[in-house]
């Protein structure tokens, strides 16, 4: 046998290996093929090919493994059990950039499914190797490494701390300064995933100088990048007053308010979330947002959006209104209550209605003037409906009830209260009657109107326990009128009159 024939055998074997890994990589892009590949023992066949002497075979084998692991946690588990991770980690340090990208993809695909699988990636020693990849010249390698680190960090604080301990955070901050858009996006996303778990982790990101660079990127025209940037700034701001102040000091206002009108839904939502996370902390931060025109911009945003995109705007208005009378009045004057009332009526999902109910309660709870502004938007019947509706979630019922009580206890605008006399259950009715008992003794015009509108008649029909607070309020109201008027509107009075007619003996004149 000649040398040529012998080498031919090797060439055929190499071609077969190449054809095999390419075919598996292609097949694993379609979900319907995955089970068949798994049953055919694809994992154990791909594993030795990761150490193949031909680089293209190694890379394609890693790519196929990544696609399989990406598909389900069972296959990711198989990668872990097959002792494939240590091989990948070793290759991350040794191989060329194409292989590094493929290896980082496998690590990411395994880590994304669950905390135990992400922990398995950490235990294999991948973090140090991935952190080193962030220093590579090739942007694709950096991108793959940043993505994998973000997927590990997103699960819980312990895994995020492991990523921090690997020294990756300063390198991720360098990555958001690179010219490649996709690298900026993924690095910003990873910083967001690290920051979200605790004030300490967010502080680590801040200490690496992230805020200034993220703040600059809020003006970038790329929507996908802005999504991640606003998300990262939100995750930093949410933890404490100090962190929120540091974000504000990066001079993001009023520039970011234009992003509330962005064409991308997620940019708008994440921008509104950032404003909410800053506004919730202190009256001073909320006032700063008001002064920048933030409340008016968020009210427009609530009017222009719907569903979950609307939610952070609704909550932001609630937080601002909760801080103080003046801030609540700023929300009212800017027509915020009108938009919140529309959201309460329009939205179908209970958790969004609950947020709107809570926000309205915060706006109306300060003074009679605040309560009147909220009541005039006709929200009291809608809140009552949300509270009484059989299908309402427990959270919606609680929030609607609390909002009703908050507004009712301050409301002296009687025309808005009167419909509730007819529809409210006893636990709400008590607060409605209490307000009438406060106003009627001092307002003759209101007393007359209360009779002609049928309010006094309705009060006489209420069955109150003797000695209860409700009974006391009714007695105060009755004390505002002559006894014969009260008797006239009491239930059964007309029957008693008719009875007296029946029993009356006519006086016969001679």
Of residues 50 and 178, which shows the higher confidence score? 178
What average pLDDT does this structure show over 177-194? 94
**Using H for helix, E for strand and C for coil, what is the string for 159-202?**
HHHHHHHCCHHHHHHHHCCCCCHHHHHHHHHHHHHHHCCCHHHH
CB atoms within 10 A of CB 379: 28
Residue found under tokens 């929507």: 223
Give CA torsion, residues 368, 371, 377, 383, to 10 deg: -150
pLDDT above 60: residue 510: no
CA distance 186 to 145: 10
Cα separations in angstroms, 163 against 79, 124, 295, 432:
21, 13, 38, 56
462: three-class secondary structure by DSSP: coil
For residue 111, the model assigns a pLDDT of 92
Q: At what angle do helices 379-388 and 414-423 cross, to 10 degrees?
A: 20
Q: Are 486 and 478 in contact (CB under 8 A)?
A: yes
pLDDT band, residue 83 (cuts 50/70/90)? confident
103-140: b (≥16 Cβ within 10 Å) or e: bbbbbbbbbbbeeebbbbbbebebbebbbbbbebeebb
* Local confidence band at 348 (pLDDT 50, 70, 90 cut-offs): confident
User: Does the pLDDT of residue 263 top 70, yes or no?
Assistant: yes
What span, in angstroms and rounded, lies between the C-alpha atoms of 167 and 308? 36
Instruction: Collect all residues with Cβ–Cβ distance below 8 Å to 47 and sequence separation of at least 6.
Output: 82, 83, 84, 87
CB-CB contact of 99 with 66 (8 Å): no
348 burial via Cβ count (<10 Å: 0-12, 13-18, 19+): exposed
**Among 456, 452, 422, 454, which residue's Cα sits nearest to residue 436?**
456
Alpha helix stretches (DSSP H) within 310-410: 311-323, 325-333, 336-346, 350-364, 368-375, 379-388, 394-408
- Indicate if the pLDDT at residue 173 is higher than 90: yes
Sign, Cα dihedral of 192, 195, 196, 202: negative
Helix 223-237 × helix 199-207 angle, to 10°: 120
Instruction: Compute the distance between CA of residue 276 and CA of residue 237 in angstroms, rounded to an integer.
Output: 9
Q: What's the mean per-residue pLDDT of the chain?
A: 87
Torsion of CA 25, 29, 34, 38, to 10 degrees: 20
**pLDDT at residue 191 is higher than 60:** yes
**Lowest-confidence range among 182-196, 258-272, 381-395, 481-495?**
481-495
pLDDT digits over 11-41, tens only?
888 888 889 888 988 988 888 888 888 888 8
């Amino acid at each position: 046998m000649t040398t040529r024939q012998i080498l031919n055998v090797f060439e055929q074997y190499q071609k077969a290996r190449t054809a095999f890994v390419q075919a598996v990589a292609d097949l694993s892009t379609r979900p319907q093929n995955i089970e068949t590949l798994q049953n055919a023992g694809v994992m154990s066949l791909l594993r030795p090919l990761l150490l193949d002497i031909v680089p293209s075979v190694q890379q394609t084998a890693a790519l196929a493994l990544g696609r399989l692991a990406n598909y389900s946690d069972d296959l990711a588990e198989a990668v872990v059990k097959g002792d494939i991770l240590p091989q990948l980690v070793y290759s991350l340090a040794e191989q060329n950039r194409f292989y590094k990208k493929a290896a980082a993809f496998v690590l990411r695909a395994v880590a994304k499914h669950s905390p135990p699988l992400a922990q398995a990636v950490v235990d294999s020693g991948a973090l140090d190797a991935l952190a080193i990849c962030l220093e590579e010249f090739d942007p694709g390698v950096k991108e793959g490494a940043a993505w994998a680190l973000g997927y590990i960090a997103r699960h819980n604080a312990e895994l995020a701390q492991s990523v921090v301990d690997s020294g990756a955070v300063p390198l991720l901050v360098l990555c958001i300064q690179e010219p490649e858009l996709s690298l900026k996006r993924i690095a910003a996303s990873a910083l967001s995933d690290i920051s979200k778990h605790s004030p300490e982790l967010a502080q680590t990101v801040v200490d690496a100088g992230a805020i200034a660079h993220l703040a600059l990127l809020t003006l970038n025209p790329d929507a996908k990048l802005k999504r991640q940037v606003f998300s990262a700034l939100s995750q930093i701001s949410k933890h404490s007053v100090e962190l929120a102040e540091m974000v504000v000091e990066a001079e993001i206002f009023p520039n970011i308010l234009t992003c509330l009108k962005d064409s991308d839904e997620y940019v708008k939502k994440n921008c509104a979330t950032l404003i909410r996370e800053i506004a919730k902390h202190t009256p001073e931060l909320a006032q700063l947002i008001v002064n920048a025109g933030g409340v008016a911009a968020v009210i427009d945003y609530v009017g222009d959006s719907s569903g979950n995109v609307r939610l952070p705007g609704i909550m932001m208005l609630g937080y601002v209104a909760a801080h103080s009378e003046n801030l609540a009045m700023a929300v009212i004057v800017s027509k915020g209550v009108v938009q919140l009332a529309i959201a309460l009526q329009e939205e179908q999902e209970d958790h969004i209605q609950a947020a709107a109910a809570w926000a309205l309660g915060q706006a109306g709870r300060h003074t009679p003037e605040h309560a009147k502004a909220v009541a005039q938007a006709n929200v009291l019947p809608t809140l009552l409906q949300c509270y009484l509706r059989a299908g309402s979630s427990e959270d919606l019922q609680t929030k609607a009830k609390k909002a009703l009580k908050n507004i009712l206890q301050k409301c002296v605008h009687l025309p808005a209260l009167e419909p509730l006399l007819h529809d409210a259950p006893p636990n709400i009715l008590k607060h409605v009657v209490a307000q009438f008992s406060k106003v009627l003794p001092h307002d003759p015009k209101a007393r007359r109107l209360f009779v002609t509108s049928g309010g006094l008649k309705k009060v006489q029909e209420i069955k109150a326990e003797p000695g209860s607070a409700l009974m006391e309020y009714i007695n105060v109201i009755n004390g505002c009128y002559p006894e014969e008027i009260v008797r006239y509107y009491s239930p059964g009075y007309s029957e008693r009159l008719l009875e007296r007619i029946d029993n009356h003996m006519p006086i016969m004149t001679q």
